[in-house]
Amino acid sequence: MRLRTLQVPLSGLPAELDGLRIVHLSDFHLGFPSRGEHAVHRAVHWAAAREPDLTAISGDLLSRPGAEPRLRMLMNNLPGSFVVLGNHDLASSRDPFSKASAVTELGSTTVLADDARTVELRGRRVQVVGVDPRSYLRGTAHPEQLADPDADLRILLCHFPNVIDKLPAGVFDLVLAGHLHGGQICIPYGRGKKLRLAHLRWTYAEGLYHRPGGVLHVSPGLGTTFVPFRFFARPEATELLLESPE
């Protein structure tokens, strides 16, 4: 698996927030037997050791409800983190092995479902908004209505990367998503290109994208679905280092 720090230039970032560190994790899929569980444990302990300013997890925490005690144990290592659910948490997928296991609270971890929280970091107000996958899939989610124009940094958590194209320009600075596992099963070709068999038509697969709706980071995630392995799609935990481009 890959543990890496990624520089993220954000226009208009206040000087006090230059160098802010956000660990982004996604797609644990705990309860589905695979090597992904080892990756999740390693990623969580790495994140805790980094002591970031903020930790965000963008959905698909559980594939089966029996793994909820393990999830709670892991989240104890990341107090103050923010989480949104994904479609697998609700068993809203084609995966026959997935069972509904949505959680509504995780102790010191905040579960956001069409909700927002504001925290003070380095003397500045940072707002975190989270999208509920149910409202997103119904087409009724409007996270821009929750955005605080007075916040110094506005972050959106949504399991689905395509949310970036639904956002008005300038409302959010940073958007964090997952869902795609970097394709999970990929065939490399050409110079650094991949045919992502699990998600052939998705525009945003992994990494950073600069769009009018904000800077999007799509995590390759940690776990698996359908089959218990990945091929040319390494699991990843990412530390985002925010920087002013000026």
Q: Calculate what percentage of the chain has a pLDDT beyond 70.
A: 94
Three-point CA angle 138, 143, 148, nearest 5°: 165
Q: What is the pLDDT at residue 198?
A: 65
Cα(137)–Cα(160) distance, integer angstroms: 9
Residue type, 58: S
Average pLDDT over residues 50-57: 98
Q: Are 114 and 129 in contact (CB under 8 A)?
A: no
Model's pTM, two decimal places?
A: 0.94
Per-domain boundaries in the chain: 2-243
Q: How far is 180 from 142, CA to CA, in rounded Å?
A: 22
pLDDT in tens, 96-143: 666 777 788 999 999 999 999 999 999 999 999 999 999 999 999 999
Q: Which fold has domain 2-243?
A: Purple Acid Phosphatase; chain A, domain 2 (3.60.21)
* Whether the predicted pLDDT of 40 surpasses 70: yes
pLDDT digits (tens, 9 = 90+) for 203-212: 898 999 999 9
Number of neighbouring beta carbons within 10 Å of residue 130:
27
